[in-house]
Structure 1
């Protein structure tokens, strides 16, 4: 009889290989209001995952063994007797903490999204593309013609952000760290400037070319990148924090001795803001429809990292690959 292979957190550790175990369980039974989905592709969120297996996500209680992973796309294998709007064989997207890193999942019908096909591209749009759309709309409040600077611009989130910003007629400055990422950003044909931070000092470049001109800084790196963006915000500029990669990589927040942040922003009327996707859940349907339409019509390129990762066992390797800064586009594992 087929089994359900899962990657679970079995103990807390700083190392994913020490923290996790591959285990096999029975394929889950569904109740009258649930759907059984066979996951086809899962998305890797290595930084969030690492905080989970370190036991440092304050709103998640991890009990061992804990299935983790957030987003997947797959095929409906069975439906509960109360389900009316979904059929066996439909392609669906699921986004729920503690569900993705397994071959089969039982999930409430209200938590699935029907999609045209279960592909890595639709996996990237929901939820990563949704995050880009909602962060620009609600937190950045990006306006036509503004200057936006984006760190980690060739990542799963960043490469959507730069395209959506260009669609609004903005001047887009994209920051990345490898020649392969430069090539990806060039292929999008939407960036006015591409900065490889391993070749060019970001602080010096922005302080020379964009001093007091950054309307929106979109940062998921932190530390030196945050400081360079903050320093060069325009009057009424907005610095959007969408991640803390450097702090999380180090495992501890850097202790800073110096003037408080408002010393940099008060006289400009500027602001520092943070984005969390789940706080805008009521807007997810609208964002998905816009992005699905843009993708179908060819107005949005969705880039998936070309490195192949296959099977539940490959999730740890894919996570290490992403944490090493090697990714170009969204990192996806095929199940």
Structure 2
């Protein structure tokens, strides 16, 4: 009997090493419409994972032990007797909460996403690239030639956002925190201004160079970054919240005594908006088609972090690496 090695949440804790465990379970017999996939690469979503193993994701009911992880790419190794549209050996992408951090997974044939090859690049495009595309289209409503500023721009999401924005001939301002990340962003040929926040003060740069000029702020950091973006929005500007990295790293959200947010944006007709990928599920295929086409034509570069992580056990190390802010591009683990 083939065993499946899994990284699971065994208990809720603030520490992943306490919350998680590696276990082995037999692979169950497939139902008629099931597809068995051998996962090859999994994507690391450390901030979401941390909320999960701390028991702070409000829309998921967790029965322990619970497999965590969201995205993987792999190959089909077995199919149920009623499966018609998925062949053995087919490279596939999967995006589903509670499925990725294991060597094998079983999904329904209708949930299979076919891809040209099971590589880290396609893992980055789906779902991270999909999020970038949908957030810019639906929430940012980015228009040709606008000024957009992107925090965490050298990360898995950010490096796709800056390229898609440049495809719309926008003026792109990218923020990162190391010289290595600056070089990555330069290599994309998509950024008009790169700010290393370790060397320049964000608020000072924006007030001097982009005061009331930011059409779209794309922020996954929060706190001081959110404040600086908000302060410098243009008339009709949109501040898109795609993450809360600094707040989620704290034991509780910062409490502030200040005027309400509308005081600073009402007279500009500006707005603050939030993006969640799963709310646009009906558009995922459209986004994949667009991104895969760009990538295959060489018009979109996908950056995967070059640090090697191998095996289920290394997921914890990869998560800690990402949370420490060391990543350049998408962090993946090869199983």
The question of a shared fold, defined as TM-score above 0.5 by the shorter chain, is answered with yes
1:44–1:69 CA contact under 8 A, matched in 2: yes
- Matched with 2:208 is 208
CA distance in 2, matches of 1:169, 1:138: 18
Deviations 1:104-140 (A, max 9, x none): 0010111110000000000000000000000000000
User: Partners in 1 of 2:29 and 2:225 — Cα distance?
Assistant: 47
**Does structure 1 residue 271 correspond to structure 2 residue 265?**
no
Alignment correspondent of 1:138: 138
Partner residue in 2 for 1:127: 127
Cα deviation code 1:256-311 (max 9, x no counterpart): 11000000100000000000000000000000000000000000000000000000
Q: Specify the alignment match of 2:157 in structure 1.
A: 157
2 CA distance for matches of 1:210 and 1:314? 42
Identify the residue that residue 89 of structure 1 maps to in structure 2: 89
Instruction: Supply the distance in 1 between the matched residues of 2:326 and 2:84 (Cα, whole angstroms).
Output: 43
Query: Equivalent residue of 1:148, what SS?
Result: strand
> What corresponds to 2:235 in structure 1?
235
8 Å contact from structure 1 (residues 102, 312) kept in 2: yes
Deviation at 1:191, TM superposition (A): 0.2
Please tell me whether residue 289 in structure 1 is matched to residue 289 in structure 2: yes
Which digits, 9 at most, give the CA deviation of each residue in 1:77-122, with x for residues without a partner?
A: 1011111111110000000000000000010111110000000000
**Do residues 169 (structure 1) and 183 (structure 2) align?**
no
Residue 38 (str. 1) matches residue 43 (str. 2) = no
The answer for the alignment partner of 2:299 in structure 1 is 299
What is the correspondence of 1:179-190 to structure 2 with a 5 Å cutoff?
A: 179-190=179-190
Q: Distance in 1 between matches of 2:14 and 2:187?
A: 36
Task: Tell me which residue corresponds to 1:317.
Answer: 317
* In 2, Cα distance between equivalents of 1:108 and 1:198: 47
CA contact (8 A) 1:28 1:105 kept: no
Rounded to whole Å, the distance in 1 between the matches of 2:84 and 2:109 is: 10
Q: What is the aligned length?
A: 335
- Cα distance in structure 1, aligned partners of 2:47 and 2:76: 29
The Cα RMSD (Å) is 0.6
Distance 2:201 2:185 in 1: 19
Q: Is the 8 A contact 1:28 1:104 kept in 2?
A: no
For residue 103 of structure 2, what is the aligned residue in structure 1?
103
Q: Distance in 2 between matches of 1:300 and 1:28?
A: 40
Q: Is the 8 A contact 1:139 1:275 kept in 2?
A: yes
Consecutive unaligned residues of structure 2, counting only runs of 5 or more, are none
Is 1:118 matched with 2:118? yes
Cα distance in 2 for partners of 1:199, 1:277 equals: 33
C-alpha deviation, 1:251, in angstroms: 2.6
- Structure-2 separation of matches of 1:327 and 1:9: 24
Q: Which residue of 1 aligns with 2:197?
A: 197
2:261 is equivalent to residue 261 of structure 1:
yes
> Could you list the per-position Cα deviations for residues 36-70 of structure 1 after superposition, in whole angstroms to 9, with x for gaps in the alignment?
00000000000000000000000011111000100
Aligned counterparts of 2:235 and 2:288: Cα–Cα separation in 1: 32
* Alignment correspondent of 1:70: 70
Kindly indicate whether the alpha-carbon contact (under 8 Å) linking 1:29 and 1:106 is maintained by their aligned counterparts in 2: no
Aligned-partner Cα distance in 1 for 2:123–2:304 = 10
SS at 1:250 equivalent: coil
- 1:132-177: CA deviations, max 9, x gaps? 0000000000000100000000000000000000000000000000
Taking structure 2 as the reference length, the TM-score comes to 0.99
Partner SS for 1:49 = helix
SS at 1:144 equivalent = coil
Query: Contact 1:213–1:233 at 8 Å: present in 2 too?
Result: yes
Tell me how far 1:179 sits from its aligned partner: 0.7
Q: Which residue of 1 aligns with 2:6?
A: 6
Give, in whole Å, the separation in 1 of the partners of 2:200 and 2:251: 26
